[in-house]
Amino acid sequence: MGGWVVAVGELATPGFDSTIESKLAPIVSVSGVGVEPHLVDLATWVATMWCGPIRAVLSSATAPSVRVSRGSAQRSRSIKPIDDDVATSTRALLAQGGGVLVVPPLQSALSVIAAAAESGPVLALCPTIRMCILGAASLRRRGLVVAVMPDDWSRAASGVDVVIGARSGVWAPCRDMSSVVVIDEHDESYWEERVPTWNAPEVAKERARRAGVAYVAVSSVPSLRTLSITASVKLHAAPVALHAWPQFVVEDLAAQPIKTSLVTTSLVDELRDSKKSVLAILNTTGSGRLLACKQCRAIAKCDTCAAALRQDQVGVLLCGVCESSVPAVCRSCGRTVFSVLRAGTAQLQREFSAMAARTVVEVTKATSLDNLDLSCAYVGTEVLLYRVSSADVVVFLDIDAELMAPRLSALADTLALLVRAARVVGTNGRIIVQTRELNHPLIQAIQKPDSTQIQEAIMTMLQSEVHRRSSMGLPPVAYCSLVEGLINEPPQASGIQIGTFGNVQKKRDDVGSVYLIKSASRNDLVTYLVQLRQIVAEKIRVRIDPARM
C-alpha cells in the first residue's frame, strides 16, 4: 500500500503506543519524492478549509515522476526590462506588496510575469495547459528560463526564472521564489473538481503569504470574491490601450420576425462571407428552459436576483436561486401566457447550412479541429472557444441563456465567456451578442464606444453586483457549501443557514438530498461541516464555494 510520509515522530511522543512499533512492517521502497516538504502544512490547511481528505490534496501536490533530479539553477544572466503600461503597473503593484491588477483581455498579461521576474523567480498560474505552453514560448523569446508544469518538474526544483502551470501548478517547486502571479484569476478552471474543491488562486495567495512574497492576481473581470475584499487587497488598473477590447455588435432577438428564431441579419451576413471563420456558440445541445412572454417576448426574470424564472405549476413562476415565487404575469405587458424558447446545436447546424453558401459543422467531442477550415462555419457549446485558438467572428446565439441562468455565478460565467471570445477574435475580429435584454448592465457596457469606457462600465457593474449580494447576504459576502448525501435533515446551528438545493440519486433505491449551507464566517462554516460529518452515519460529499452554483 502506498502513502505519504508527512511528519516524523518519536517514541516519547505523548499518546504513542510503544507496542505498535513491533507491529509495523518495514517500508518496501520509496516510489518518489512526493510533496515538497514546506508545502505539507499548506496541503493540510487546504484539506481543512475545504473539508476534504488530505490524501486528495497530497495527490495533486505530488511530483508527477518517480524520480526528480535536482541540479544547479538555470537562470537568465540578464533580463531585459519590459517597457509597456502593463509592466509599469506591475512594478508599481509589486512595490506595494502585491494585489489585484485589472488588465483588459487584448493587452498582454505575460508582461506581468516578465516584469515580476525582474525581481526574482516567479511562480505563475494560467487557466489551461495550452496557455501555459504558449506563454512559456513567449517568455523564452524574451530571454527567460521557463519550466512548464508538470513536465519540467525537475528543472523547476533546480531553479529557473519562471515556473508556469495550470491549476495543480500551485504546488510546483519554485526555488528562491520572489512572487506568485495568477493570470485570469476569475477563470473557473482554477477550481478542483474532486473533493476537497479547493480554488487555486486562494491557495496561491496563502502560499505567497506563508513564503512572505508578493501575490499578484491578474484579470479583465476580477471575481466577486476578490472585489469583496478589496479593502485588504490593493486593486490597481493598468492603462487601457486603444483596442484592448474587440468590436461588439449587439442584436435584438425580440425584434426578429420569428419569435423563437436565433437567426439575425448580422449572423446571416457573417455566415455567407466565406472569407471569414465563424464560431457560433450556444450552450444547449438539447432544449432550453428560458421563458418568454408569448405576446411581447420579454424574458421572465426574478425581481430580487435577476435570474431566469421557471414555471413548475400553473399560474406561478419560481426562481431557482433565491427560491422566491411570483404570479405568472408578464411585467412588461401583463399577459399570462409564456412560451419556452427551444434551440439546440444540432438543429441550428441544419438551419445555418440551409441559409449559408458554405459548410456548417456542429462541433462535438468527436470533432477534430486540428486544422481550422476557413471555408466552414462552426456551431457548438462554449468548449469551442477553448478548442479553437483564433477566428474572425464569434457569435453568442443566445447570451440570455447564460446571463440569466438560475445560478449565482451566471454573471461571472458570462463575463468569462466574453473575455475568452475576445482573445479568440483579437483586435481585428468581431463578437456578435444576440439578446432580448438590451437594458441589462452588461449589454449596455459592451456597447460603449471605446475600450476604456467598456472596461470602466464592466468594473462599475461588478462593484454594484457585490453591493447587491451584500444586501441579500449572498456569496461572495457569505460563504456557502453544497452538501450531498443521505441526510434526513441537517441540524440547526447558530450563524448557519440551511436550505434545500435539490435531490440526487445515491443508490438504486435511495434518493439523497443536496443542501445549501451558508454562513457569514468561513471558520463557522468549516466547523459546522466537520461536526456534520461526525454525526451523519452515511458518507456525505461537501463542496465549499463551487465554481458554478
Helices 110-117 and 129-141: crossing angle in degrees, nearest 10, is 50
Specify which residues 512 forms β-bridges with.
Answer: 504
Q: Model confidence over 140-194: pLDDT tens digits?
A: 998 899 999 999 998 999 999 999 999 999 999 999 999 999 999 999 999 998 8
**Angstrom distance (rounded) from CA 333 to CA 349:** 34
Residue recorded with cell 493587452:
107
How many Cα atoms are found within 13 Å in the side-chain-facing hemisphere of 377?
A: 32
DSSP 255-319: GSSSTT----HHHHHHHT-TTS-EEEE-S-SS---EEEETTT--B-B-TTT-PBEEEEETTEEEE
Question: Shortest CA distance to 52 belongs to which of 520, 483, 475?
Answer: 483
Residue showing cell 399560474? 315
**Per-residue pLDDT in tens (0 to 9) along the chain, 549 residues:** 788 888 877 777 777 776 777 777 888 888 878 888 999 999 999 999 999 999 999 999 998 876 667 777 788 777 777 888 999 999 999 999 999 999 999 999 999 999 999 999 999 999 999 999 999 999 999 889 999 999 999 899 999 999 999 999 999 999 999 999 999 999 999 999 888 999 999 999 999 999 999 999 999 999 998 888 765 567 788 888 888 999 999 999 888 876 667 888 898 899 888 889 999 998 876 444 567 887 787 888 887 777 778 776 667 888 877 777 888 888 888 888 877 665 567 777 877 888 887 888 888 777 776 666 767 888 888 988 888 888 999 999 999 989 988 788 899 999 999 999 999 999 999 999 999 899 999 999 999 999 999 999 999 999 999 998 888 888 888 899 988 887 778 888 998 988 877 655 454 455 567 888 999 999 999 999 999 888 887 788 889 888 877
Nearest Cα neighbor of 542 from 189, 203, 195, 54 is 195
Q: Which residues contact 412 (CB under 8 A, 6 or more apart)?
A: 186, 221, 223, 224
For residue 24, with 0-12 CB atoms within 10 Å meaning exposed, 13-18 middle and 19 or more buried, which class applies? exposed
Please classify residue 500 by burial: count the beta carbons closer than 10 Å to its beta carbon, then call 0-12 exposed, 13-18 middle and 19+ buried: exposed
Task: Give per-residue pLDDT as tens, 430-445.
Answer: 999 999 899 999 999 9
Grid coordinates in use for 86?
Answer: 502593463
Report the Cα–Cα distance between both ends of the chain, in Å, rounded. Answer: 37
- The beta-strand segments (E) located in 285-435 are 290-293, 309-313, 316-319, 325-327, 338-341, 360-362, 377-380, 393-396, 430-435
Distance from C-alpha of 281 to C-alpha of 379, rounded to nearest angstrom: 6
Q: How would you classify the pairing of strands 430-435 and 393-396?
A: parallel
